[in-house]
Amino acid sequence: MQTLIINIKELLQVRETNIDKVSGSEMAILPSIKNAFLLIENDTIVAFGSMHDCPKINVDKTIDATGKIVLPSWCDSHTHIVYAGNREQEFVDRINGLSYEEIANRGGGILNSAKKLNETSEEEIYNQSKKRLEEVIQQGSGAVEIKSGYGLTVDGELKMLRVIKKLAQNYPIAIKATFLGAHAFPIEYKENHSGYIDLIIDEMLPQIAEEKLADYIDAFLETGYFSVEETERIMEAGKKYGLPSKIHVNQFTAINGIAACVKHNALSVDHLEIITDEDIEALKNTETIAVALPSCSYFISIPYTPARKMISAGLPLALASDFNPGTTPSGNMNFVVATACIKMKMTPEEAINAATINGAYAMGLSKTHGSITIGKTANLIITKPVNSYYELPYAFGSNLIEQVILRGKVIA
């Protein structure tokens, strides 16, 4: 099956195979070809270039992209798409002046979601979650990482991870699964932190490894949640089962968590709304990538990750949605890219790099996703006719996506 896309106004994010992420000043460069073609064979990009060099061949399908931009699908490296119910009451509580911490102390927040999830059948959780996944596919996401973390029991965490596995089997989007048993301490372990971490390490992890249910391990490293020392125990345990870490850190406070994550070779450190000069130094010249979640900052009115400071320091930065029921009930990566430009002062080039090639890196998909590269998976966004790609973040409330292609096939 061959598909040829012709007359592309501009083909974005064209890269050589040896580039897995971009950092610092390189993030401002978005390689592209104007008046371009792209050839797909089955599920793979096999050729692209200027229309002057477009091959004269018979193909199964031709798509005329006159006036339209083509770019790789968004790579959303931080989501919590699998959950039960919603937390819309907490949304109203925040409007009425309650803080995130106050809501959590009243039994809301993560523990509220955990209660709902443990009361809901695996089939019903799957049915609720697949609707969210279908929505983000239509919004241009071609790869997502999905975390557990709303079970907080052996059965609940396994149930979530099995739902994630089933979604990965049934949909063409690339899915990476992350075990986040260390999302919060259940009420019964509030005064016995080591007991809950023992449960994660001795009971949850062996079963998850046996069923091959996770690619990564995560923890909420934050004041009032998991300390640096507790998170290090979890990262160490993950390594023993071949699970690299991707850690929630520096959302509300800076407690030297980033240095600990780098020490344990974390693939990513996510949130970073609060970041110190020491944290930035710790990240320099490492394999660990920072991931910003601007729609979370937007929704719960907390500071935005200081992108300009981090990029100026030479760091790579990825963008992700943080889609979850409590603090970001949206997986719309178009809004994430726009918000990064509007609120974090990232240029469109930086934001698109952060949401494609760097997003792929942040979930271990650099070899197959995130750029227009020969041999990579044909996951593409074809826009409606636009003036330029600047229109994507500029017209932040408009749906400018005309077609989504995953694994070489147009998604209906």
Mean pLDDT of the residues in the chain:
96
Buried b or exposed e, range 258-281, using 16+ CB within 10 angstroms: bebbbebebbbbbbbbbbeeebbe
pLDDT of residue 15: 96
Take residue 363 and report the two structure tokens written for it: 């979930």
Give tens-digit pLDDT for 270-293. Answer: 999 999 999 999 999 999 999 999
Interaxial angle between packed helices 333-344 and 348-355, expressed in degrees from 0 to 180 and rounded to the nearest 10: 140
Interatomic CA distance for residues 39 and 26, integer angstroms: 27
Paired residues of 76 in beta bridges: 144
**pTM score, whole prediction:** 0.95
Take residue 210 and report the two structure tokens written for it: 């046996």
Alpha-helix runs per DSSP H in 213-293: 228-240, 257-263, 277-283
pLDDT of residue 106: 78
Interatomic CA distance for residues 72 and 404, integer angstroms: 10
What parts of the chain have a pLDDT lower than 70? none
Give tens-digit pLDDT for 212-230. Answer: 999 999 999 999 999 999 9
